[in-house]
Amino acid sequence: MIDNLILLLENPVAFVDLAINGVLIGAIFVLVAYGMALVWGVMNIINICQGEFVILGGFVAFYFSKWGINPMLGVAAAFVLLLIVGWILYRLVIFRIVDRDLFTSILATFGISILLSQTMNEIFSADVEIARHGLGTWSLFDGRITLEQIKLAAFALAMVIGLALVIYMKNSRAGQAIRATAQNARAARIMGIDTNAVYARTYALNAAICGAAGALVAMIFTIQAYGGLAFTVRGFLVVIVAGLGNLPGVIIAGLSLGAAEQVASFVFGLEYQLAFVFGMLVLIVIYRQIRLGFRRQYLR
């Protein structure tokens, strides 16, 4: 572990290489976190099955590549499929827990998460899968920095999706309705917004974003039926670091989480990569508490 750290310090180019690759992956975390913040802000639900949407989207891209279709098309297909899945889930379960306490929503979405991951395990098996995309690798500076083209493409695509989403939320009537509901659901109802439809749209949209992100994950990363919870935790981590409704914060936090994760998995070893993510969450949550504790003394 210390050897790796020294290696990294002596060789800053390798560090940059890791960081760039991490930032490119981080774009995915930004999308997942954005969806999570959307559902959390609008519906006051922490969606634990976020990661399962990602993995489900990933399997769409995987099957596209298996059937010989370009997995990039899988991004669009995953978006549409997850839009439907999210809408059905809302109509079946989620609308019953919108007004309930957070414990109920956490446990219910955790149940959905178990249900989805086990169903995927049953249908697609528990193997670690990767979608073949046929894109090559660029090496820069005599091979010191390697850039996989697919990661660049995924990063660009993720940014395009994110941008489209922001424009949708800012300018379209539907997006305005979502934002109005987030600000004050009661007032929004008085103004004639069908908040139930807004919730359904929000939840379906979140699932669709995650699905599209997942299709990218299948190309640049690996997907596995049980791998969903890690994405949920990453999303939650990014959201609590950035704060709700702070889009630049979400982008910065997401990209830096990606970079930090890559560096950490190099330093601590690949088997501790997930431990790093979950440990980070615990640490940040504790840090938050200590910070709030200091602030409280002034308030009271």
Contact residues for other proteins (CB under 8 A)? Answer: 46, 48, 93, 96-97, 100, 102-104, 106-108, 110-119, 121-122, 226, 229, 233, 236, 240, 269, 271-272, 274-275, 278-279, 281-282, 285-286, 288-289, 292-293
Which whole-number Å values give the CA distances from 189 to 35, 172, 186, 194, 268, in the listed order?
23, 18, 5, 6, 51
Q: In degrees rounded to 5, what are phi and psi of residue 128?
A: -80, 125
Of residues 15 and 278, the one with the C-beta less far from other proteins: 278
Of residues 67 and 298, the one with the C-beta less far from other proteins: 298
Tokens of 244: 């709700």
Of residues 152 and 274, the one with the C-beta less far from other proteins: 274
Cα separation of 30 and 246, whole Å? 12
Of residues 1 and 190, the one with the C-beta less far from other proteins: 1
Of residues 10 and 271, the one with the C-beta less far from other proteins: 271
Of residues 34 and 64, the one with the C-beta less far from other proteins: 34
CB of 206 to other proteins, least distance (A): 17
CB of 3 to other proteins, least distance (A): 17
Cα separation of 284 and 270, whole Å? 22
Q: Are 276 and 268 in contact (CB under 8 A)?
A: yes
CB of 199 to other proteins, least distance (A): 15
67 C-beta neighbours (distance < 10 Å), count: 9
Which whole-number Å values give the CA distances from 174 to 125, 182, 209, 292, in the listed order?
38, 13, 16, 36
Contact partners, residue 288, CB within 8 Å, separation at least 6: 240
Of residues 121 and 256, the one with the C-beta less far from other proteins: 121
Of residues 51 and 58, the one with the C-beta less far from other proteins: 51
Cα separation of 48 and 225, whole Å? 15
∠ CA 257-273-34 to the nearest 5 degrees?
A: 30
CB of 248 to other proteins, least distance (A): 23
Cross-strand partners of 137? 148
CB of 269 to other proteins, least distance (A): 7
Contact partners, residue 16, CB within 8 Å, separation at least 6: 145
Cα separation of 177 and 200, whole Å? 12
CB of 279 to other proteins, least distance (A): 5
CB of 243 to other proteins, least distance (A): 13
CB of 48 to other proteins, least distance (A): 8
Q: How would you classify residue 217: left for phi > 0, otherwise alpha for psi between -120 and 50, otherwise beta? A: alpha
